[in-house]
């Protein structure tokens, strides 16, 4: 029996001295392998009487189990050391390029982000700067200052999400358009103003062409001697760049917005060929944006003297622009986080072209 105890102690010492998983494996083979000490002990059982076999067999088995456990513990300890060592010494080279063929793992730029970037790009060439405002607005910035008072019928056109407010006076809501950024900018800065404001907007509406959350981009120019001609010229140049068509036929239709006077909606000409929209041809018209000369009442609300300054504003839906440019038919697909969809319609961050080549 003392033989067994000696073996156990001896193996324990060997195990504790193992410096690596390879060392440990060698010891394991030496002790537990076919020709190992413990296997030899097991084999020797065939030479003893049945009486002895019972008692010896039990203790040999216990020895085997104890030794196996000791190996397991040490193996665990050495594996952890390997991991710690890698954490300490391995360096991640984030500048390495993506492995060829691992295209599926490459992130894609969402068409909404891509459209916002493109619009910003075009307007920055026209000397516009970008302004942003919060998604949660107050009633004044979203409605009242934009000449939409409490009892104005236009309020009903905006299916507004109101927040539960303690204070009725200072009612908060999810902005229904990006136009409150006009108000914030006119109150905070003085003319000349030349901004675009992209962002999220919210209306209680949900079908194939409406989503309760969508994106708009707002434009505002305030300066001396600004007229509708400037608005038309700017919007034409923008559309030609965005839709990549020169001499794009456009038309302005009279419309109504409380915050612009006169107001218009702008359409571009298109034709549908083989189920694909082609812009700049044909005699069908597609609405692109709402616009107009800033209503003097709005200027006054923002403490800007309408006898000195005029300006124009426009607002357009980002989803609509993306759908038209990239041939996307259901607005809801933008927000479904479907990898197949984003792999098809998304844009590679590396070469800025989509997998469809658009």
Q: Under the rule (CB under 6 A), what is the footprint of ligand PHE?
A: 177, 179, 218, 257, 260, 290-292, 313-315
Token pair for 355? 């997998």
Angle CA 253–318–121, to nearest 5: 100
Angle CA 331–333–335, to nearest 5: 95
Q: Which is closer to ligand PHE, CB of 280 or CB of 292?
A: 292
Q: How many residues can be counted in the chain?
A: 358
> Shortest gap between Cβ of 178 and ligand PHE (angstroms)?
7
Q: Which is closer to ligand PHE, CB of 242 or CB of 314?
A: 314
Q: Which is closer to ligand PHE, CB of 177 or CB of 320?
A: 177
Q: What is the DSSP string of 213-235?
A: EEEEEEEEEEETT--HHHHHHHH
Angle CA 192–197–202, to nearest 5: 140
Task: Find residue 68's DSSP bridge partners.
Answer: none
Between CA 256 and CA 35 the distance in angstroms is: 95
> Shortest gap between Cβ of 318 and ligand PHE (angstroms)?
12
Between CA 38 and CA 60 the distance in angstroms is: 8
Token pair for 117? 């970037």
> Shortest gap between Cβ of 204 and ligand PHE (angstroms)?
14
Terminal Cα distance for the chain, rounded: 81
> Shortest gap between Cβ of 191 and ligand PHE (angstroms)?
17
Residue closest to ligand PHE (Cβ) = 315
The strand pair at 284-294 and 260-273 is best described as: antiparallel
Q: Which is closer to ligand PHE, CB of 141 or CB of 260?
A: 260
> Shortest gap between Cβ of 146 and ligand PHE (angstroms)?
8
Angle CA 309–136–334, to nearest 5: 100
> Shortest gap between Cβ of 314 and ligand PHE (angstroms)?
5
Q: Which is closer to ligand PHE, CB of 162 or CB of 339?
A: 162
Q: Which is closer to ligand PHE, CB of 108 or CB of 177?
A: 177
Q: Which is closer to ligand PHE, CB of 9 or CB of 206?
A: 206
> Shortest gap between Cβ of 290 and ligand PHE (angstroms)?
3
Between CA 318 and CA 196 the distance in angstroms is: 13
């Amino acid at each position: 029996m003392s033989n067994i105890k000696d073996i156990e102690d001896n193996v324990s010492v060997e195990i504790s001295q193992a410096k690596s998983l390879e060392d440990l494996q060698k010891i394991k083979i030496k002790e537990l392998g076919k020709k190992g000490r413990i296997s030899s002990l097991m084999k020797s059982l065939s030479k003893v009487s049945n009486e002895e076999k019972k008692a010896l067999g039990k203790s040999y088995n216990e020895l085997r189990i104890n030794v196996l456990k000791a190996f397991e513990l040490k193996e665990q300890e050495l594996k952890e050391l390997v991991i710690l060592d890698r954490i300490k010494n391995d360096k991640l080279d984030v500048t390495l390029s993506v492995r060829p063929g691992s295209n599926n793992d490459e992130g894609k730029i969402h068409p909404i982000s891509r459209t916002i970037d493109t619009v910003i790009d075009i307007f920055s060439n026209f000397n516009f700067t970008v302004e942003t405002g919060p998604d949660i607005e107050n009633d004044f910035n979203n409605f009242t200052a934009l000449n939409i008072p409490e009892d104005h019928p236009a309020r009903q056109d905006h299916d507004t999400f109101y927040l539960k407010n303690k204070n009725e006076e200072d009612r908060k809501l999810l902005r229904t358009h990006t136009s409150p950024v006009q108000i914030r900018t006119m109150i905070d800065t003085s003319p000349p103003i030349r901004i675009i404001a992209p962002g999220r907007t919210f209306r209680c509406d949900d079908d194939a062409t409406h989503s309760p959350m969508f994106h708009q981009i707002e434009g505002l120019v305030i300066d001396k001697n600004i007229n509708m001609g400037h608005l038309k010229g700017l919007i034409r140049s923008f559309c030609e760049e965005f839709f990549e068509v020169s001499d794009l036929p456009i038309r302005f239709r009279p419309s109504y917005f409380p915050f612009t006077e006169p107001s218009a909606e702008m359409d571009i000409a298109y034709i549908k060929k083989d189920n694909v929209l082609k812009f700049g041809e044909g005699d069908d018209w597609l609405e692109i944006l709402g616009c107009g000369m800033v209503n003097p009442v709005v200027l006054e609300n923002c403490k800007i003297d309408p006898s000195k300054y005029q300006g124009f504003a426009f607002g357009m839906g980002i989803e609509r622009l993306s759908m038209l440019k990239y041939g996307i038919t259901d607005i809801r697909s933008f927000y479904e986080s479907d990898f197949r969809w984003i792999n098809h319609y998304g844009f590679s961050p590396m070469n800025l072209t989509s997998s469809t080549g658009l």
